[in-house]
Amino acid sequence: MLAAVIAAAFVAGAGLQRIAGLGMGLVVAPVLTLVLGPALGVSLSNAGAIVTATFVLTSMRKDIDWRAFARLAPLLVVGSLGGALVVLRASAAWLEVFIGVLILLALASTLMASGRIHVRGRLPAIGAGIAGGFMNATAGVAGPAMTIYAVATRWNHTSFAATLQPVFLLTNATALGAKAFLGAVPSDTGLSWWMWLVALVAIAAGVVLGGYASRWVPTRAARRVAITIAAVGGIVTLWRGLSGV
């Protein structure tokens, strides 16, 4: 049953990311937090996001805005390191509360982001980069912070979705490496070796299926699915965390 849940989450997350440019963290992190706990669940989501971003990047590389990525990269690293420290210090119950609240606030902010808002300059990039890295390390979701930044700066969606892939690759690698170095990742995962193989195959299958589905599934519809799943996961995670405090 656990392997089936992990596989389904990774297939859905990878497929949505292939279609819409994001979705892995939004779908996988809340689900794995519920079944594996906050520290291990988010860390496994980080690992899966690294693999997914690598796969998706190869098909979207021609549209990546490397200059925009270079502006965000050091800020993403700073935010990821700060988030790793929070994961190290917080108890499991409070971490679940924090993750649940963070996911719900991020989704609400994304939904309220209006095309009428227009910002420019370095300050918005600083805020988005640090927030994205921090949220990714703690809750496995950098997408909402990046989406708000993209809407506010009028970032072309094709370029934005492509540039998200190296963003996800960097921030997840930094978050996972920092948490492992600090000892914030459980040494005994309780997962058999074949479950890791199942997760890898599920990611590859999700990317392939997403590639086919992208021909007729609208990007907006894929985002709605990802946001709905993330919202349900965020609510349940928050409730479970509050029950354990």
State pLDDT tens for residues 170-199.
Answer: 999 999 999 988 888 777 777 788 888 999
CA pair distance 63, 82, nearest whole angstrom: 30
Distances (CA, A) of 173 to 6, 43, 125, 168, 245: 20, 10, 20, 8, 30
| pLDDT attached to residue 31 | 87
Domain ranges of the chain: 2-244
Cα angle for residues 93, 143, 79 (degrees, 5° grid): 65
List CB contacts of 80: < 8 A, sequence separation 6 or more. Answer: 133, 134, 136, 137, 171, 174, 175, 178
**Which token pair is 74?**
């050091």
Q: What confidence score (pLDDT) does residue 114 get?
A: 56
pLDDT over threshold 90, residue 65: yes
Q: Is the dihedral of CA 24, 29, 35, 40 positive or negative?
A: positive
For residue 112, give both structure tokens: 């309220």
222 pLDDT band, cuts 50/70/90, is confident
CA-nearest of 39, 31, 140, 141 to 91 is 39
Higher confidence at residue 66 or residue 151?
66
Rounded to the nearest integer, the mean pLDDT of the chain is: 84
Please write down the HEC assignment for all residues of 186-222: CCCCCCCHHHHHHHHHHHHHHHHHHHHHCCCCCHHHH
* Residue 125 contacts residue 149 (beta carbons within 8 Å): yes
